[in-house]
Structure 1
């Protein structure tokens, strides 16, 4: 099934019509490109249960970064010190 064409909406319009936009996305598979000051800033698209792998790629990148970070051991602290 071919993708539906994106409709551009301003951020202000998307804010005012958010529930209507979500309904169109859910019911009709509509796709929206949200703009601010004429520049694209976000997309509202149906998920259809699809996973483009972005979450897995982000998780893998985070884990790679954490593996490269040195372990920092600080002085022990008490619960009371935590809340001071």
Structure 2
């Protein structure tokens, strides 16, 4: 954690934001008295359970998937 005066904070704001983004906390002081704190934001947790490919590699689809139970289905529709 570092402390900078308000004039330096205005002059080097983008550098201070970059330091905060890298995990550092920066205290901004006026006349030596702390008045503000620049802290990094916590990254939101991304819910990957609803993403495409989330189950990749956990099961295998047979090559004849589109022809499975073909005879039974035809029998149900044709009534034979």
Q: Which runs of 5+ in 1 are unaligned?
A: 1-5, 51-84
Q: Which runs of 5+ in 2 are unaligned?
A: 45-80
Greater fraction of residues in helix: 1
SS at match of 2:18: helix
State the alpha-carbon separation in 1 of the partners of residues 41 and 18 from structure 2. 13
RMSD: 1.4
Correspondence 1:11 to 2:9: no
Residues 2-81 of structure 1: pairs in structure 2 closer than 5 A: 6-26=1-21, 28-49=22-43
**SS of the residue 1:29 aligns to:** coil
Distance 1:37 1:47 in 2: 27
Number of aligned residue pairs: give it: 44
Q: Report the CA distance between 1:14 and its aligned residue.
A: 0.5
Structure possessing the higher radius of gyration over alpha carbons: 2
- TM superposition score normalised by structure 1: 0.49
